[in-house]
A and B are shown apart, each in its own frame.
Chain A
């Protein structure tokens, strides 16, 4: 039996998809809460270290990070069962808001953020999160309109814009993450001057030399350090995180390649790494292909702005699976070589060990496609992306999340480790 659960590092990613995504990821959280690690007085949810969220999934992830287990007593009523769309529409129609909305500095997204702040997140800020001094670490993902790249609401990212994230409201980060194109306007941030003594990090200095060696690292550094030019980029405008990555996994890829997870692996702090990807990708019933005449301008515009949201999700999951497979292969190669040396060389030479040792790595990718019940799969995949679903639809999504997590073969393999 494995005695120390602290050597287990668990990461959750919650995709976009409105209330559909929020309810589906909530179902996974609920099942995690009910799943005890054999031989340990802990649940798998107790082990969650990071939650990376996008759009609709940000409501569930941020609520859990902010309020912990309370989510299981009040989140259904506070968010999942509500008709947020209707409430937003009513706020827009309220004459009391017309004057504010006529200002260029206040728009629909600000109304949405106010609604989320007062009725869901209870004026919670990133300082409220920090004050809890509890895992998981929350990464809310949005998209920077200027670069079309991922923007995460973390202290590290805010350092690049000369700002302190602690006073920033969680509700505004969630609003930016879920600012669906056309329906909601972007959230804007000020790019403040750097404090005295600010220096570019060594990691960015090195990465900016990497154009010919590693374009991923190079562009990551370039996108972050461009905010040093305060005159050229005095503001940032953020929209739905799904435009850059609709499953929240790219943040995890970056942490694994060059961030905190890489440092923990090289420092031998992780023995088991479990990544749970909750993807509420749907397949809306459309009639585009049934008409001979091409769709109208508004349909094309909406398609153009949202089609990218799911295009690269599959590849992102495959990419992290490949990185994990490469790690396991490296461990096996080193073991195999040492065995051959032991067999054929009598001087007892030992190859230098691989930092982190023999890690176990798992990717649990949960999507409606995993369902064996074809009727239920079709029903859930046809649910629209909206902030209003019927109660029975919400409950079916929660049940699907629970079932698909519990029955996933990779999760079963992970649990077998503890027996």
Chain B
């Protein structure tokens, strides 16, 4: 498995590959490969979407992506 940390200034639901899955600011365990990530409503964040490859991560060194308040 791979590890992803979605940073946002507040706790917010995360949408991974089109489905709700986990919260921001927690390390999420996911399958290796391409993923798309956005946040749940309200749409007050930027960018709208991150798309990336998740590989070669560990629980103490997850891939980190960030959303900012728009």
Contact = CB atoms under 8 A, between A and B. Distances in A.
Interface of A: 201-203, 205-207, 209-210, 213-214, 217-218, 257-258, 262-263, 265-268, 323, 326-327, 330-331, 333-334, 337, 351-356
B58 to A, nearest CB: 7
Contact of B31 (A217, A268, A337): A217
Contact of B33 (A207, A334, A352): A207
A266 B33 contact: no
23 contacts: A202-B18, A202-B19, A205-B36, A206-B17, A206-B33, A206-B36, A207-B33, A210-B34, A213-B33, A213-B34, A213-B55, A218-B33, A257-B1, A265-B29, A266-B28, A267-B20, A267-B22, A327-B29, A334-B60, A337-B60, A352-B62, A353-B26, A354-B27
Interface of B: 1, 3, 5, 17-23, 25-36, 51, 53, 55, 58-60, 62
Chain A interface mostly? helix
A330 B26 contact: no
Contacts, number: 94
A333 B19 contact: no
A326 B60 contact: no
Nearest to B64: A352
Nearest to B53: A213
A113 B44 CA distance: 54
B34 A352 contact: no
Contact of B22 (A217, A323, A330, A355): A355
A225 to B, nearest CB: 14
A210 to B, nearest CB: 4
A266 B58 contact: no
